[in-house]
Structure 1
Amino acid sequence: MCRRFHGPSPCAGYTAPRTVGTITSLFQGIGFMAPRMSRSLRGLVALSVATAAALAGASPERAAQFYEDARSLYDKRDLPAAAIQLKNALQQDGNMLAAHLLLGKVLFEAGQLNAAEVALDEALKRGVNRSEVMPVLGRVYLRLGEPAKLLDRVDTAGVPPELHADILTMRGSAEAMAGKLSTASATFERARRANPKSAEPLVAEAPMLLRYGQVQRALEVASAATKLEPGNAMAWHQLGNIQQALGDMKAALDAQERATALAPKFVDAHVARATVLIAVGRTADARALLEQLKTWKVSEPRASYLRATLLAEAGDMAAATESWREAADLIDVMPSALRASSEPLLFAGALSHRALGNLQKAREYLDILLGRNPRHFAGRAMQASFLLAANEFAKAKPVVDELLRQAPEEPQILYLAGQMSLARREYEQATEFFERAQSAGAGNMALRDLALSQFAQGQGKVALANLERAYAKDAKDTRAGIELAVAYARLGQGRRAVDLAQKLVARQPDDPVLINFLGNIHGRLGDRANMRVAFERALATAPDYRPTVINLSRLDLDENRPDAARARLQAWVKGHEKDVEALYYLGVAERSAGRMVQALEAWERATGADRRDPRSAMATVDVLIAQGRTDQAVTVARAMAVNVPNVVPVQHVLARAYAVAGQRDAARSALKEALKLAGFEPGPIVQTGRMMLQVGDLDSAGYAALKALQASPDALDAMLLSVEVAARRGDAAAVDKGMAELTARHRNATPVLVTAGHVAMSRRQYTKAIASYQQAYEKEPSTPIALLRSRAQVAAGQPAAALSGLLDARRKSPDDDTLLRAIAEVRVLAGKPSDAVRDFEALVVRRPTDAELHGSFAEVLFALKDPRAIGMAETASKLAPTTARHGARYGWMLVLAGQLDLGVRVLRDARLRDPADGRIRWQLAEALQRAGKSAEARDELRAALASGNPPRPGPELDRLRQQLGV
């Protein structure tokens, strides 16, 4: 693992490349890693696990045998042989998740870091759960010196609590590696709380404290680590580094010798020993130690620099120059991420290049070093010498601020500052700048934009008056006219808005911009017929006018004309391949036509063209979730949130992806961020609060309801949210009080009636619930309310009534597949299984890619002992291969049907996709016990019982516990 340290030893004013201070501050604890695997080798590794299906004679049974052999070899620490058997297993069955995972572990422990990364990525891609992969992948990234990757991909979301300390320690190390010192300190503290018995958080935090200047605290932490785990070589190494920084060379040497005694090939500790030996004048011992490292064929740039220093002292400048060049070359060819993450390597590179006379390269490394750690004492000393020699000055202030200081009353500069503030939503500053600009003579444009800023501040009357005055002063100011028409439309003055827009068009009848604008005004007022007329006129005037191409396509989609929209947009993107908006709406058109593959392709192109536009990524996430590809949905959503971090809907989509993937803590975190971003807008606040309820974060949902009510005390949605939170908390008094307030302020509103039904259902007052839902349905007939009513009727033991109500609703909506599915499920309860099967058969024909539908049908068939059940379950599993429950259903049916070998393989895959699901692990344990694998079955059953979602108690579970002695 890469570690970075800095000791406060002065080295200003040195004339030779070596001083005790420079060496002491430089070589403290960063191991040099082997170069990255070549691209060709990465391709070979990927190829070795991707050709399975193409090999003649491939067999899951042979794959299982190879895998068992590999496990045995791994237990014996025969890593090369284990890797071979795992690759053999994957050649036979490229979808064996357990083999992908174990291969990543074997390659990591064998030191093949890049190959391990490839294998672990493949395991994730194939569907292995994050909690199985992340602890290993995090260590790979640390040893590769890639903190950004670790922080982006490795966190505690979806990881069992017993692994939190390890994950948090890795994240703290990565944050320290990236220069985020305060954040790293907090993360290490969380790691210690997660596992007080582990020394690893202390071992990782100590060098960071040293670099931050908290030397005594670093000493305390490292000492505590050695006491907590006396056999931890890294703990002794870190303690020695800190003692060296404090000038206690005897203690430092003792600590490094303890480290090397515990780990004889610990290169970092040997380099640190050599550094201390040179510092205390034992150069002969240091030279012998450095030569020993050379015989081990260790390519270590710090060791090369130390050798150069000793050779220079001995007067052998030719050999010293060769060693300096070796050190510089080793650092130069490192991956930039590894080099940039290590202060000792950066400083060694700067020193070596300075010794070689490469001042520009030395300065480059120094700049990176000081960017990471401005407190680096020796680096600051070297920087001072460079700056004095170059006579450089401090960086200037931001451009606009500098212009304002130079010309504080210049109208154009004031106007520019106002525009910048307006764009940044700093409305008070923008208003001030525009007012000053107008007073200084900036003219009508300042008055116009002043009005826009005042609108944003809520000063509607003043803003409208200023905008009317600006347009009156200059009717040729088209932008003022457009803004004024928009203001009229927004204020409900539709006739004035249309009249003004028509006047603008009349002045320039061939201008597609103004004709398109007229269409938008019609659309804003709900006049779709005239909206279409305007858009078609604009395209007739200018067929390549992009806004109208987009607008008319959107109108086509709204009016259920996807083919017309798709044809127009396909023609457009042929000549505009990176038009993000056109690609987005092309994807929408493809989705509307049921062409999901083409939709995803269009959205992928859009996101690649501009990652700051989240629409295509949001749509992609929705489709991936619908297809059951939850891991891919999370990947897309996380990338989107990184690219567009401050948008509420983006955080909502990210939270939804996390929630569907079972990463509830991560979902809650995203929603808290969304609530911050929502400000005091009731709509986004309530929407966020409802999503918080869905992920079980009742406290945050309650806070969201309170925040929304503070912004708008009578807001119906906010009041409803408050009642929903109280209901989830089981606070009956608060629910009754909230319902009374709702009834008083919003009597007989449909949402109030629906909520009354929910409350009654929660109290098992089914008759009352049915009445509330029925009243709501009579006011606003809809499928969701019909389904709620049927659910209440089923709960009341009235399946016939539920079926009758659903059939009546379907007569009003004959093409509603959601209703038909509910009808099929209720038919089973009503004792009409053959009719249910007929309905399901019709549904799967119409919705051949719906995994949930196929899964439900499989369960109905299995209950009816229909032989088609297993095939239907297999289809559901194939439609959503990354969703564990579908695979588990299929595997369990296979086990119950006596197909043990295949059932075990399928259940193993399902368990790896969702190791937190105790029911799946119980099913796997039962299957393994039936297959004679009692030891593995016992481990799975124990994990199932300890999970946060354990299997339900019952005689089958009791029997298995008794058989396995659990």
Structure 2
Amino acid sequence: MPTIRLELMARALTAALPFALLALGLGACTKSTPEGSIAAAQQYIAQKNDQAAQIELRNAVQQAPSNGLAHRLLGEALLRLGDPVAAEVNLRKAQALGESSDSVAPSLALALLRQGQAKKVIDEFGSASVRDAAGSASLRATLGHAWLARSELQPAAEAFAAALGQQPANASALFGKARIAALEGKPEEALTLTESALQADPRLLDGYVFKGQLLASKGQRQQASETIEKALAIDGHYVPARLGLASILIDAKDYERAKAVLGAAGAVASDPRVSYLQGLVAVRQRDLSKAKELLAGTLKAAPEFAAALALAGEVELLLDNPVLAEMHLTRAMRAQPTAAARRLLAVALLRQNRPGKAIETLQPLLQEAEPKDAELAMLAGEAHLANGDYRRAGEYFEAAKAAGASMGAVRTRMGRLALVQGDLARGAQELQAAAAASPQTVEPDLLLVSVLLRQHQPAKALAAANGFIKKQPSNPVGHVLAGTAQVLLRNSKGARQSFEAALAIKPDHVPALRGLADLDLAEGKPSDAQRRYDAALSKKPEDDQLLVAAAQLQERSGQLDAAVKTLQKAITANPAARDPVVALVGLQLRRKAAAAALSIAQEAVARNPDEMNLVMLLGVTQEAAGAGRDALRTLNALVLKEPYAVEPLVRLAQLQARQRDFDGAAKSLLRAQERSPNSEAVARDLVAVYLQGGQADEALAVATRLQASRPGSPGGFVLEGDVRAHAKKWAEAERAYRAALKSDPDAVSVAAKVYRVMLAGDRGKRADEWVADWIARHPSDLSMRKAAADTALRAGNFAGAVKLYEESLRLEPDQALVLNNMAWALGQIKDARALATAQRAAQLAPNSADVLDTLGVLHLQAGDAKEGLEALNRARQLQPDRLDVRLHYAKALLQNGQTQEGKVELRALAASKIDFPGKSGIPALLATP
């Protein structure tokens, strides 16, 4: 029996085999052709199985690359699967292969939109038409969402209305109206419209995601997550749902779970929004290098993804790269001009010292006379403050206060405003109040310490620095400020402890290293200073700030070639950094290597053509290299490129003035005044240009206008005093300067001007009484003593100068330039202390040409020609353009018996067209045997 059954089964199988083979053959035939794969895919699509459909369609396009239908269906499937980049590729191929625009346009527009390319959607499909009503409605709805992405609510609403006119139950358009309602601050209406959209299309996955976001905004995170999970229940591969969940987790600061959700989303599809949100998580966790890497990948896949561009700009700002930040944010604004991107762009521009452009950028947000947004008002105030428009700055800071900004923040800005207006006393008062009102913020403390140091109040500055340290003990800046104050208090031990405390927190903190190096140099230990930088650079050999500081030390130690190499290394390692370029150009110019400096500046601008400060540096370097016309062209081009910036116009005016084009300089400064109407610096330069050009009346008018526009500021009266002094109207000048002192009674520079005009007006006794009274009221002030001493020195009152210098040195003994000037004055009155004083100055400043010149001359007076010649030769090498120093050197050669060499130098000096002290005596020196 079993045998019979097996035999019967064998016969049955044999009989059935041709039919089985036929069936297999038919199946194989169906799936082995592109048409068969397409047919199978269409069945899967009808079954909502896009994953299986895309496999069939990939087979189809592999077998028939020129099959437009296969590419279109594959693009649509990939779009539903959440891969808009690959979807776009296939949809464009379908279009190129002849698929009708009607069938391709709706999906292609949606693919672009999901890549964040809203502008491209509008540009490419804004005027497109689709004959099929459903397809047309779909396209109109997508356009509406594109307009929404660009914050254009009116055209968005019109597009959604058009879609609903063609298809009243179009879920995407209803969903778009819900989004508009949310943006207009109508969350309940938005929720209702979203529900309507979901009723129209229960598979509207974006609707579930948006509803979840609405619920999350109301604090209902659990319900929000459950709603989004419904989208995933419909399509487990739907990436936006995972993105929605991740967004909720990010807002809740649950970054680890957010990363897990995003990791799963990335495994499903290569959607650039995944890496964007991963970048956002990295920013929130302050892993900026990771964020930068992730966002670079996002932008490689979707170059016009506005949100990613804005976040990339924010990352560059956090990394202190404002030029790169501007590049990203400008692109973000072109793609989607959101308020957030606009604010970040303004910050980037302010960081580059381009306040005029920042104001222009913010203008669309500042339509209200008094912004209700405190943060925006503060930013606008900062921009106007930097642009010199102090009235508008003050108005915006007041608006910020009215809008609810913290009192600490507002009073900090008010303090800064007072400082730039020259009112140090009010500035200090505001900052003290701000520091007290800001227990967590150290900005007012930082500014307060700076003000107190400028006011020569180191004890108060130390107390303020200790307040900073109390707020943020792990911030090295507070310890450096304390160390700086202790240096001024002549507490070297305490200063070292403070600087070392800063380094214990941050071993490569450059200001602390510089502070300790200065102390080492003051104690005659240059090798110790060098070792500090060597140790820091061994750990961070390419740090641009460390390299610049090390180069500055090398220059001070006379190692000029080594300093050049150090700065070249800094530039090579950090081609986008500005400080090493500025330092190297400055060093080469001081070495009189103008050609080398020009080459460096040109290369820097070629690397960073949009860096305004580098372009201005190029102009300065071109002038120093003798290419004045090139400098004019460079600065004029910059003025055209930066139509709202003040500083390029000021630099242009300064160059024009040096070229004796006073009319051109005045015109440039008047243009600068249009941009910054209340800037004292611009007014001061304009007065100087008018005086140089012999237009005293115009100069006086500038001063008078400044007095009217800023009645509480001393600046206008100081300028009036300068104009009167230029005309030698000493009494009128004194009255103007005294009027300035009424606004700022502690302004040392103004008090010194009063002293000078009193001396010039032959009121020497009154002038000495003035100085004595000032010093009695300001016993710790060094500036007035030095200013008065320098004035006495220039006036030939050497004994009086010595007395004032001695008082200054009692307060602060190690002032090299004060010792130098005092040594010169002592030498003029044949005081035996002159040489020893000069030698002490040289110990403190061994590479100062002024100090070495004084030392050399005093050695000659003492009869030591050899020592004098050595000192003067070094001074001549340090500053070869100082003709007075070269004259002293020539005299030293003669006195040392080197007559021929001395007369060669004297003849060269006599041939110079430049006048300088002692030139008239050269013929007599040449006549000596």
The two structures have a TM-score, normalised by structure 2, of: 0.44
Give the number of the structure with larger relative contact order, counting CA–CA contacts within 8 Å between residues 6 or more apart: 1
